[in-house]
Amino acid sequence: MTKGLLINASRCIACRACEVACSLSHEGEIDPSKSLIGMQLFNEAYFYYPMVCAQCEIPYCALNCPTRALEKNPETGQVDFIADKCINCNLCTVTCPFGAVTVRDGLAHKCDLCDGDPWCVKFCEVGAISYGELPEPADHLRALPYLRFTDEVVPLTPVTGDAPTA
């Protein structure tokens, strides 16, 4: 089983704490454009969700990477990025169907799952992002890129204390 980030779009409220936490923990500064998890916003429809590396079963980014800087890890099932091998050819950004790989400063960037303790999950109090075992895609989807959305509702913290009064 592959561990990765699960997205529950119905929970997302577009607070963007995931983007801020990601850029702050990786870059030491606040810049959503450098976040490895990116908000998709359809404000008029109140529909929003974060897009992030799906650790695809068959990762197009890795298939097309000429230097194997991106590679499916046979043990963890995750798509690893080896910075030393990256030659800044941009093929990964073109082939990833989710826009989850970006290239800046001559290097590809994608979600590294924060060594198994993702900051975005810690700050997602509404439970739109969780870290766990990704659901197996159905057989007919196995060869296709498959974003791991989930219907599972992560319970919110129960309400305690008094109501705000303003």
- List interacting residues with another protein (CB under 8 A): 13-17, 20-21, 23-25, 27-34, 41, 43, 46, 119, 122-126, 156-157, 159-166
Closest CB 1 distance from another protein, rounded Å: 28
Count CB neighbours of 92 within 10 A: 26
Strand-pair partners of 103: 108
Kindly state the tokens that stand for 65. Answer: 């990477």
- Whichever of 42 and 67 has its CB closer to another protein, that residue is 42
- Whichever of 22 and 100 has its CB closer to another protein, that residue is 22
Closest CB 36 distance from another protein, rounded Å: 15
- Whichever of 68 and 104 has its CB closer to another protein, that residue is 104
Closest CB 22 distance from another protein, rounded Å: 10
Helical (H) or strand (E) element with 62: helix 60-64
CA–CA separation, 105 and 85 (whole Å): 15
Strand-pair partners of 81: 70
